[in-house]
């Protein structure tokens, strides 16, 4: 029988940190602040003991904990560290080894492997015979794991623990009604003003560089991909007559007349417009009717200018592609019921009850507020696919790092150690 | 791909949330509260929206609910899918935690990855998350493990992963393969495994040192954990005239007595149990007596011949109940049928 909590586990007034994924517990984590109240040494020790024991095996009675408590704490050193006598090296947080013996327990290892949402839940799974160690059923949460032990949990239990809560039928119906209402409104808006809704839905995200909404809105969002593609099509010179090409080339040449300097050598294969213009001036600049060679040059100038413009536009398109796909007035058609065949295209069946026989939300979705607790332990190797894990070794501590996972500061562990070691010499 | 979620449907909701966030005062609370007169928990201070003050603070922190009841504006609500953890951020004296929550609404803020990204708890910088083996690294390890010329030690040093972890990876891969063949991996389980993989930080170890996670994920291999026998003082100071018997020495070292150790050494040399097969009945007694003289007692029970053979470490059968009499003082030996 686990220890009964003397006060609500997630009391907001006490603000103790528990080994649990509950969102209220996360709030307690979030608001926790490091402070050292001016108090007597014993008060500090008592408080530290209370805070640390609330996280490390709060379901174990004090006597059971004292049974595994060890006075001697051990840290790992590298040979390199021993030689290093400089003051810069990080300290060994040896006091964080205080609760290392608890990490050996099967229920705690299950919690660390994220197979259960708290050691208490892990304990329930174990006592109901859902957990095996090295292939044989173990029914005691205190079972001490040895290095190399493989433990496994029924996948159904893990999916229930880590997954979103299964909604009741009533709640599922309620959500579906709300979703239908909102989706109906969305589709109506799309029919009325497809362009506006398209832009709202695909809000631009910058492709490169820091997030700068002003730059994006000015440069990119004013243009649409539609406009850009039209512009590029206009630039195409395939069907343009030779006279027009020459005229275009001559316009470009006029821009470079000022920068022209006779006698300057130009490499023939350089495709830049200004280089081509310089070549043109050197070749033939006085005659009223340009020679065939000069005409050829003018055509090349027109082509080159178009190439440059195309490259610029494509750069803009690339920027815009980060924001949205190509606009089409019928873009919302896939959401209409006559096309997709269901009123809510993103879910099958009612909300969360695709397979009502399962004890968890279907299709399986991770529970909310899981992210801050998603920690990979150093002393376990986990296979999520099969809900198996291997206990590699007891968690150790080294310079600047402790493998025992604890949210509480080092000084609290030091004080708690002093509390427990008081008359156990 | 283009399927809208309820969150996307109401785009104005996000804007409203930003307005709300600027209105909220403070998420952090006064610590060390006392319940009693003068406390802000007291009824004198009134209830906020039908809730006590701490609870109303929490609800403010959780934010608005979406259609399906999620607190979708809270930065911790949804699990990440890009291997970058979403832990409670570390703060400095210049930036308060309230400001950081506002910052976290910006998707660009999450892209800043440094060493603090992998420290889950702001108060304890000594706790760091480990890393899952990336798919490529795992494949590489399994590929090397199939190579008979590669030893465990070689694989370990090549990829920067501890030996026991390499062995565990191989062990688990075998289980996974069995499960796949048996069809035990349901779609939901596969979905779970994929989401967990995407949520957790991954590392390439020494395979490719491109990201910070690759550098941090390389495990320290040269460190020494003192063995249990080395964790105690092996020197005892005593008076010159004090008595110190072999039994005292044994109890001090938590080891068997020297005589027993020597016995074990003797028995280790014995090649096999004595065989009585093919021995004629008239020679049997003599043979047994020889054997008895060398080893231990022989018991006659009707037609059967029983001999008590000293138990060897690691081979002792352990059964609950009456047969557990090797623990009894009067019978320290294990029974074993002859010629078994």
A213 within a domain of the structure (yes/no): no
Q: List the domain boundaries for chain B.
A: 6-29+37-118, 132-216, 245-337
Query: A293 and A370, same structural domain?
Result: no
In this structure, the answer to whether residues A49 and A148 fall within a common structural domain is yes
Q: CATH code at A399?
A: 3.10.290.10
**What's the average model confidence in pLDDT over A34-63?**
86
Residues in chain B closer than 8 A to A372 (CB atoms)? 76, 86-88, 120
Please check whether residue B123 touches A, CB under 8 A: yes
Vertex B158, ends B152 and B164: CA angle to 5°?
Answer: 40
Count of other CB atoms within 10 angstroms of residue A373: 22
With 70 as the cut, is the pLDDT of residue A43 above it?
Answer: yes
Q: Among A28-37, A322-331, B140-149, B242-251, where is mean pLDDT lowest? A: A322-331
At residue B213, the pLDDT reads 92
Residue A218 lies in a domain: no
* CB nearest to A76's CB, from B71, B126, B224: B224
List average pLDDT for each run of 10 residues in chain B, which is 340 residues long: 41 40 41 48 56 82 90 90 90 70 72 88 94 95 94 91 94 96 95 95 91 89 73 78 87 82 68 62 70 54 58 55 52 43
> Which residues in A lie closer than 8 A to residue B131 (C-beta atoms)?
376
Kindly determine whether residue B128 and residue A409, on different chains, have CB atoms separated by under 8 Å: no
CA distance to partner chain B, nearest, from residue A308 (Å): 32
pLDDT recorded at residue A175: 95
Q: Which two tokens stand for residue A163?
A: 């997954």
Q: Are residues A196 and A333 in the same domain?
A: yes
The backbone torsions φ and ψ at residue A362, rounded to the nearest 5 degrees and listed phi first, read -120, 140
A408 touches chain B (CB under 8 A): yes
Among A27, A80, A183, whose Cβ lies nearest the Cβ of B58? A27
Q: Are residues A369 and A385 in the same domain?
A: yes
* pLDDT over threshold 80, residue A265: no
Chain A residues within an 8 Å CB radius of B47: none
CA–CA gap between residue B29 and residue B144 (Å, rounded): 54
Please check the confidence at residue A377 and state whether its pLDDT lies above 60. yes
| Pair A172, A160 in one domain | no
| Residue of chain A minimizing CA distance to B90 | A30
Q: Do A196 and A139 sit in the same domain of this protein?
A: no
By C-alpha distance, the chain B residue nearest A354 is B188
Same domain for A160 and A27, yes or no, is: yes
* Range A13-27 burial, b when 16+ CB lie within 10 A, else e: bebbbbbbbbbbbbb
Q: Look at A182 and B67 and tell me if their CB atoms are within 8 Å.
A: yes
- Whether residue A212 is predicted with pLDDT greater than 80 in this model: the reply is no
Radius of gyration of chain A (CA): 35
Chain B residues whose CB is inside 8 A of the A12 CB are 52, 54-55, 58
What CA–CA distance (Å, rounded) separates A21 from A372?
9
- Reading the block at residue A275, the tokens are 């280089």
Q: Are residues A342 and A374 in the same domain?
A: no
Nearest CA in chain A to B80: A371
CB neighbours (10 Å) of residue A125? 22
More confident residue, A327 or B36: A327
Examine the domain organization and report whether A396 and A259 are in the same domain. no
pLDDT band of residue A252 (cuts 50, 70, 90) is: confident
Percentage of residues of chain A with pLDDT beyond 70: 78
The pLDDT of residue B24: 39
A200 three-state secondary structure: helix
- CA separation for the pair A388, A111 (Å, rounded): 13
Predicted local distance difference test score (pLDDT) of residue A135 = 93
**pLDDT confidence of residue A209:** 42
Please tell me the distance in Å from B76's CA to the nearest CA on chain A: 5
Where helices occur in B67-186 by DSSP H, the ranges are 97-104, 135-146, 152-159, 163-182
Q: Which of A76-85, A189-198, B314-323 has the lowest mean pLDDT?
A: B314-323
Give CA–CA dist B310/B334, Å, rounded. 7
Q: How far is A29 from chain B (nearest CA, A)?
A: 8
Q: Are A342 and A413 members of one domain?
A: no
Q: Smallest Cβ distance to A374: which of B41, B175, B199?
A: B199
Instruction: Name the domain count of chain A.
Output: 3
Angle at B289 between CA B285 and CA B291, to 5 degrees: 120
Chain A's closest residue to B225, CA to CA, is: A76
Q: Please report the pLDDT score of residue A229 as a whole number.
A: 65
Instruction: Please tell me whether residues A160 and A28 are part of one structural domain.
Output: yes
How far apart, in Å, are the Cα atoms of B73 and each of A365, A402, B101, B197? 18, 33, 11, 24
State residue B32's pLDDT score. 46
In this prediction, residue A198 carries a pLDDT of 76
Q: Which residues of A touch B52 (CB under 8 A)?
A: 12
Judge whether residue A424 has pLDDT over 60: no
Sign of CA dihedral A309, A312, A316, A318: positive
What does residue B251 show for φ and ψ, rounded to 5 degrees?
A: -70, -35
Q: Which of A72, A392, A402 lies nearest to residue B231, judging by beta carbons?
A: A72
Q: Across residues A169-190, what is the average pLDDT? A: 93
Tens of pLDDT, residues A133-153: 999 999 999 999 999 999 999
E strands of A275-415, at which residues? 380-383, 388-391, 397-398, 401-402
> Do B6 and B13 form a contact (C-beta atoms < 8 A)?
no
Distance (Å, whole) CA B166 – CA B153: 9
Is residue A214 in a domain? no
Residues near A68 by beta carbon (within 8 Å), at least 6 away in sequence: A101, A102, A104
pLDDT at B13: 39
pLDDT score for A260? 59
- Mean pLDDT for A361-376 is 95
Give the tens place of pLDDT for each residue, A282-306: 776 565 667 777 888 888 888 887 7
For the residues A273-281, what does the mean pLDDT come to? 74
Q: Which domain holds residue A290?
A: 225-321
DSSP secondary structure letters along A41-79: HHHHHHHHHHHHHHHS-TTS-HHHHHHH--S-----EEH
ipTM (interface pTM):
0.72
The pLDDT assigned to A82 comes to 61
Q: From residue B242, give the alpha-carbon distance in Å to each of A364, A374, B142, B237, B290.
A: 72, 59, 60, 10, 43
What percent of the residues of chain B are helix, what percent strand, and what percent coil, each to the nearest 5? 40, 5, 50
Q: Do B126 and A402 touch (CB under 8 A)?
A: yes
When mean pLDDT is compared across A11-20, A213-222, A272-281, the lowest value belongs to: A213-222
What is the spatial distance between Cα A110 and Cα A119, in angstroms, rounded to a whole number? 7
| Residue A100 sits in the same domain as residue A149 | yes
Q: Is residue A379 part of a domain?
A: yes
The span from the CA of A9 to the CA of A7, in Å, is 6
Please say which residue of A336, A357, A378 terminates a domain.
A357
């Amino acid at each position: 029988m686990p220890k009964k909590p003397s006060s609500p586990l997630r009391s907001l007034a006490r603000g103790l940190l528990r080994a649990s994924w509950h969102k209220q517990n996360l709030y307690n984590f979030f608001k926790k602040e490091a402070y050292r109240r001016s108090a007597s040494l014993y008060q500090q020790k008592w408080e530290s003991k209370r805070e640390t024991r609330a996280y490390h095996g709060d379901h174990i009675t004090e006597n059971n904990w004292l049974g595994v408590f060890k006075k001697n704490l051990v840290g790992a050193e590298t040979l390199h560290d021993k030689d290093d006598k400089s003051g810069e090296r990080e300290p060994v947080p040896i006091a964080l080894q205080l609760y290392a013996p608890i990490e050996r327990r099967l229920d705690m290892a299950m919690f660390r492997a994220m197979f259960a949402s708290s050691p208490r839940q892990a304990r329930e799974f174990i006592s109901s015979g859902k957990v095996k160690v090295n292939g044989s059923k173990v029914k005691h949460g205190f079972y001490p794991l040895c290095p190399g032990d493989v433990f496994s949990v029924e996948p159904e239990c893990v999916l229930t623990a880590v997954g979103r809560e299964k909604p009741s039928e009533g709640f599922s119906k309620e959500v579906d009604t709300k979703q239908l209402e909102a989706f109906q409104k969305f589709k109506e808006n799309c029919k009325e003003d497809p362009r506006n809704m398209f832009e709202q839905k695909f809000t631009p995200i910058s492709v490169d560089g820091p997030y700068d909404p002003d730059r994006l809105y000015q440069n990119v969002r004013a243009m649409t991909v539609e406009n850009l593609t039209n512009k590029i099509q206009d630039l195409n010179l395939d069907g343009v007559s030779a006279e027009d090409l020459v005229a275009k080339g001559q316009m470009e040449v006029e821009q470079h007349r000022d920068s022209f300097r006779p006698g300057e050598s130009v490499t023939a294969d350089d495709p830049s417009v200004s280089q081509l213009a310089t070549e043109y001036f050197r070749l033939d600049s006085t005659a009223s009717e340009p020679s065939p060679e000069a005409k050829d040059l003018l055509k090349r100038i027109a082509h080159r200018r178009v190439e440059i413009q195309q490259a610029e536009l494509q750069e803009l398109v690339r920027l815009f592609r980060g924001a949205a796909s190509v606009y089409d007035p019928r873009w919302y058609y896939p959401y209409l019921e006559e096309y997709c065949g269901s009123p809510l295209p993103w879910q099958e069946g009612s909300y969360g009850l695709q397979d009502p026989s399962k004890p968890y939300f279907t299709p399986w979705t991770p529970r909310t507020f899981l992210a801050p607790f998603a920690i990979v332990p150093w002393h376990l190797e986990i296979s999520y696919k099969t809900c198996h894990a291997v206990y590699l070794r007891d968690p150790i501590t080294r310079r600047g790092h402790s493998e025992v996972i604890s949210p509480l500061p080092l000084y609290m562990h030091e004080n708690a150690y002093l509390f427990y070691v008081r008359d156990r010499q | 791909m283009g399927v809208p979620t309820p969150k996307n449907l109401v785009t104005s909701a996000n804007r409203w949330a930003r307005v709300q966030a600027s209105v909220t005062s403070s998420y952090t609370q006064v610590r060390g509260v006392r319940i009693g007169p003068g406390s802000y928990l007291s009824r004198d201070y009134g209830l906020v929206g039908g809730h006590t003050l701490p609870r109303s603070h929490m609800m403010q922190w959780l934010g608005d609910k979406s259609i399906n009841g999620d607190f979708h504006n809270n930065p911790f609500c949804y699990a990440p899918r890009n291997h970058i953890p979403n832990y409670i951020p570390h703060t400095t004296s210049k930036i308060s935690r309230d400001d950081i929550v506002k910052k976290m609404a910006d998707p660009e803020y999450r892209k800043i990855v440094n060493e603090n990204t992998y420290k889950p708890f702001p108060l304890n910088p000594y706790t760091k998350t480990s890393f899952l083996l990336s798919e490529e690294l795992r494949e590489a390890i399994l590929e090397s493990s199939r190579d008979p010329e590669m030893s465990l030690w070689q694989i370990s040093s090549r990829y920067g992963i501890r030996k026991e972890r390499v062995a565990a990876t191989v062990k688990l891969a075998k289980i996974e393969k069995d499960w796949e063949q048996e069809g035990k991996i349901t779609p939901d389980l596969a979905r779970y495994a994929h989401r967990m993989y995407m949520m957790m930080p991954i590392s390439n170890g020494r395979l490719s040192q491109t990201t910070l996670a690759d550098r941090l994920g390389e495990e320290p291999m040269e460190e020494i954990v003192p063995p249990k026998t080395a964790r105690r003082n092996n020197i005892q100071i005593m008076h010159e005239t004090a008595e110190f018997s072999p039994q005292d020495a044994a109890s001090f070292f938590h080891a068997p007595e020297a005589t027993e150790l020597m016995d074990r050494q003797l028995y280790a040399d014995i090649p096999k149990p004595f065989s009585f097969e093919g021995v004629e009945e008239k020679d049997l007694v003599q043979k047994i007596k020889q054997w008895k003289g060398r080893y231990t007692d022989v018991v006659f029970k009707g037609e059967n011949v029983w001999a008590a053979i000293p138990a060897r470490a690691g081979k002792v059968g352990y059964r609950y109940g009456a047969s557990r009499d090797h623990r009894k003082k009067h019978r320290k030996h294990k029974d074993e049928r002859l010629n078994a």
